[in-house]
Structure 1
């Protein structure tokens, strides 16, 4: 086999130029496609944000008497800092077992802020928020 000379292994400037041009064209094409067709995940995220904002605008109000009607494993609401949370779907997942049911249908603020709860629970609970607690003349 004949040996290649060092000169023949060099890339020609013309080849390098075309390679750079084609590479740049591909990058530009990919960027244009990304901006034209945003990922569906971003659209779903935006839809979720819009729904959350709409929900915040139409916040419901509940009395303690109304919350008290939701005091079972299959229908569990709690009050935390004058906010009402429907934690029914979380009851079986609660790391503390049935302890969550001790204040079902009632104010659970004191127990909730105890040392047994990690700080992440304060973010998790907001997913269950359904409205605010209001006082009635009988509550005063």
Structure 2
């Protein structure tokens, strides 16, 4: 059976698609909307999957919050970890081993400015998106001893 029709694709609003297809006088709009939504979900997954895989790489190279018991460190101990290949920072009296993240840091070597020291002020600066606050938990290794 031969179908004659036109496929009209129009993007409406913020990524919501509305498809109309006229095939031998019948509208199959709902089916095409469902297909469009599935395609949008798949496209959205393309943005999430690369972030997840990068996150997984970093997790394999350092202890996580849930698997490591809390340890306390002195400022002197933290100050010994001040290089690109051994980078610890302090943020609000918590110690983080960010060594696996140094090469991925979008701000380049700026992460090394306070390596081995207090990074609280820079960490909460305007250059960081709020997702950074959740991301840093992956690198938590202990608390700062007062």
Q: Normalising TM by the smaller chain, what interval?
A: 0.5 to 0.7
TM-score (normalizing by structure 2)? 0.55
2: CA distance, partners of 1:104 / 1:59 = 21
In the alignment, what sits opposite 2:119?
Answer: 108
More strand per residue: 1 or 2? Answer: 2
- Corresponding residue pairs, total: 83
Q: RMSD between aligned alpha carbons?
A: 1.3
Q: 1:122 aligns with which of 108, 128, 133?
A: 133
Deviation at 1:107, TM superposition (A): 0.2
Q: Deviations over 1:31-57 (max 9, x none)?
A: xxxxxxxxxxxxxxxxxxxx85453xx
In structure 2, the gaps of 5 or more residues are: 1-63
Alignment match of 2:79 (pick from 53, 68, 73):
68
Following TM superposition, the consecutive aligned residue runs of length 4 or more in structure 1 with deviations greater than 2 angstroms are: 51-55
Q: Does the CA-based 8 Å contact 2:65-2:139 persist in structure 1?
A: no
Q: Highest relative contact order (Cα 8 Å, sep 6+), 1 or 2?
A: 1
Structure with larger Rg? 1
Higher helix proportion: 1
